[in-house]
Amino acid sequence: MMLKKLIWLLLLVLPTTLFAQSALTGNIFDNDNRSTLLQGVTVKNLSNKGFVLTDKDGHFAIPAKVGDLISFGMAGYETDTVYLINLFPRNVYLRVQVNTLNTISVTTAKISPYLNYKDPDAKPARGVDYSKDRGGLRLNLGYGKYRREQAKLQELEENEKYQDEISKNFTADYIKTLLKFEGEDLKNFMAMFRPTVGQVKAERPFNYAYYTVQAYHSWLKLAPSQRKLPSLTKKTN
């Protein structure tokens, strides 16, 4: 009789234990008013693509394991992303999203040297004539070479903008908040896995936390000898 009771107890407890070991649970609050629980927050497991919504009590439970990347997002709040080092229940506090515009002081203006340049070999583009009979105005699309030069300048400025964004986000301090990295390994990792402009442009907004953790998994798959940048040595005659 005692043995049967023990078996029934194990059957009742075991599923709960297994679920606890393979799921992350917790509650989500408003950061400014920490007694306010948030309903309808999207909790995503970016590693296995699963997601759930918090209930009316702000509670969530999502399948997960150590090493997964979990994001918490809701309209009107800043998205928070965490890298799981354990599956302990946790409270998450989301900050209200505030959009502010910085004051810009214009002190100088740069005029493009190509502004008044005309290609002597260029042919004017065909004008679109919207005369009085048609009701409208006449447009002239300008010169081909000038437009190509302007496109190149715009591309360079856009590339510089993305490089600045990468430099501000993919920093040693930021990586240390996600991963255990120090010294030469950190320098090599940043040099080898710095996001490219193409990667950042392809996903807007770019999720630096998710990218960094994915890059770290790729780093771990490399042999120790491959985790270093090749040293440059000068050849002497």
Instruction: Please state, in angstroms and as integers, the Cα–Cα distance from residue 198 to each residue in 48, 84, 163, 194, 233, following that order.
Output: 24, 28, 10, 12, 31
pLDDT of residue 167 exceeding 90: yes
CB contact at 8 A, 193 and 219 = yes
Mean pLDDT of 181-196: 88
- Any idea which fold 21-94 has? Immunoglobulin-like (2.60.40)
Parallel, antiparallel or unpaired: strands 80-83 and 23-30: unpaired
pLDDT of residue 111 exceeding 70: no
pLDDT, tens only, 125-140:
555 554 545 455 444 4
Write down the pTM of the prediction.
Answer: 0.43
CB contact at 8 A, 176 and 207 = no
Look at residue 130 in the predicted model and tell me its pLDDT: 47
Mean pLDDT of 177-194: 87
Contacts of 161 (CB under 8 A, 6+ apart): none
Per-domain residue ranges for the chain? 21-94, 146-223
Look at residue 117 in the predicted model and tell me its pLDDT: 54
In the sheet where 59-63 sits, what is the strand order? 59-63, 23-30, 90-94
Contacts of 56 (CB under 8 A, 6+ apart): 39
Q: Which one has a higher pLDDT value, 101 or 234?
A: 101
pLDDT, tens only, 39-76:
999 999 999 989 999 999 999 999 999 999 999 999 99
Q: Which one has a higher pLDDT value, 159 or 54?
A: 54
- Torsion from C-alpha of 232, 183, 212, 91, nearest 10 degrees: 180
Lookup: tokens for 200: 């950042």
Q: How high does pLDDT run on average in the chain?
A: 79
Look at residue 14 in the predicted model and tell me its pLDDT: 47
pLDDT, tens only, 79-93:
999 999 999 999 999
In the sheet where 42-45 sits, what is the strand order? 50-53, 42-45, 69-73, 80-83
pLDDT of residue 6 exceeding 60: no
